[in-house]
Amino acid sequence: MTISTSAFIAIARTGRSIAKTVSPRATFPSISLLSHHDDDLYRLSSNTVFRAYTVSPRLAKKAWDPSLDQYKYWNREDSKKGEASYVLDMSPESIQKEARILCLAAENDDANNPLTKGVLPFGAKLLKSGVAPDDFDHASIKEQRPNVLFVSPSCPHARHQLPKMLRLFPSIDWIHVRSAGIDFLESEELPVVLTARPNLVVTNAKGQFSSSLAEYVMMACAYFAKDIPRLLRQKGAKVWHDFDITELRGKTMGIVGYGDIGRAAAKLASVYGMRVVALRRNPAKSEFDPICDEVYGTGKDALQKLMSVSDYVVCSAPSTVETRGMVNADAFKASKADQVFINLGRGPVVDENALLESLKNKTLRGAALDVFATEPLPPDHEFWDMDNVLISPHNMDKTATFMHEATEFFVNENLPRFVLGDALLNPVDPSLGY
């Protein structure tokens, strides 16, 4: 039987030693197939197993085909973990280039430990960490030609430091942002720098925070559907009064910004039996989405249509030049009666004065707000005193490990792809802001 593969690795189980033999082509007279997994195991004898590794068309397409939009973005629930790392571990000779990394982050940011203190993939090396260009030894760093810049939200004044770093180190050709939103990097200087560097790739941590925010969405829906504020008041007063509650089943959830977070919320809503409608820039991308019943484009008319048919509206849009103030007085005037508005994207996307007025005049039943135009929310803001507003301090995705996991995504998923010369996950268009 003749087997042609990219490599054979023979692992001899002989005590503590592991012997590896690599051959581009090998012929064996009798080999029994042990399993049908992503890689195939072939047994020659009782103590030797040959692993034939080659990237199957299915695996290659799922992990690295940039033409398939659904495989360009990471989701910690659905994406297959460690595919590029496995290729690199099994075939280190596949390295196409080194990753020489600079880290722009606060020194005490332990969420970066997988990068600063952990084991990096073959071919990757952290050169230096700092919060500003002055923290980096310009001459010695330039000699090493850094080509990767990792940017953490913990970096003070990151919006000002990033353009300076890019000018100082022109060898950088990939920026990874350790958050889903990149609005904290917006500045007048950055577009100028990026225009001069058209081949610079920017990626983010999209897909790391979606599931926890989706859980928050359903909690917020139930908060109003089951009238949790009334339950708490009655408990405090030791009063036993029953009352009618509302089902979520059969209600419509409208999602403004149908990205990874929006789709995660839609997935849970569909399990509850809710109908889902959504806005997104490219509706065709959700044409065959089994959990979204109807997708509108963007624009004032589309938003008002969504507001008019939705019992619960989830705003998960990023903050960009186009989206700031998008959910305005006209949108709220179009709202379906008894609607609940949930904002977990970015505060500036919503006209808070218009939202406040809609809550006062009962155009809206209530609002659940995790993000605000000004954070922390000022103590004298009227939202604090409103019974029909649920407030959380922009922490509904803040698990104990959420930022560590975001760094692990960079180290375990995107760094190996960079070293292998493959397409990176979570590409961002800085001109769009997402």
394 is catalytic: yes
Tens digits of residue pLDDT in 87-123: 999 999 999 999 999 999 999 999 999 999 999 999 9
Give Cα separations from 79 to 38, 207, 213 (angstroms). 15, 9, 18
Tens digits of residue pLDDT in 212-263: 999 999 999 999 999 999 999 999 999 999 999 999 999 999 999 999 999 9
- The mean-pLDDT minimum among 66-70, 131-135, 315-319 falls in 66-70
159 is catalytic: no
Q: For position 70, what pLDDT does the model report?
A: 52
| 150 token code pair | 């990792």
Residue 379 gets the label, from left (phi > 0), alpha (psi -120 to 50) or beta, of alpha
- Above 80 in pLDDT, residue 28? no
Eight-state DSSP code of residue 133: G
Tens digits of residue pLDDT in 123-168: 999 999 999 999 998 899 999 999 999 999 999 999 999 999 999 9
36 is catalytic: no
More confident residue, 56 or 337: 337
How far is it, in rounded angstroms, from Cα 117 to Cα 404? Answer: 12
How large a percentage of the chain has pLDDT more than 90? 75
Q: For position 384, what pLDDT does the model report?
A: 98
Q: For position 288, what pLDDT does the model report?
A: 86
How far is it, in rounded angstroms, from Cα 343 to Cα 272? Answer: 20
Q: What is the mean pLDDT of the chain?
A: 86
Q: For position 272, what pLDDT does the model report?
A: 98
Q: For position 321, what pLDDT does the model report?
A: 85
- Above 80 in pLDDT, residue 381? yes
Q: Which of 346, 365, 413, 417 does the annotation list as catalytic?
A: 346
Degrees, nearest 5: CA angle 18-20-25: 155
Q: Which of 77, 107, 247, 375 does the annotation list as catalytic?
A: 375
Q: For position 175, what pLDDT does the model report?
A: 98
CB 197 within 8 A of CB 174: no
Q: For position 171, what pLDDT does the model report?
A: 97
Q: For position 432, what pLDDT does the model report?
A: 85
Q: Which of 43, 51, 381, 394 does the annotation list as catalytic?
A: 394
Its pTM stands at: 0.79
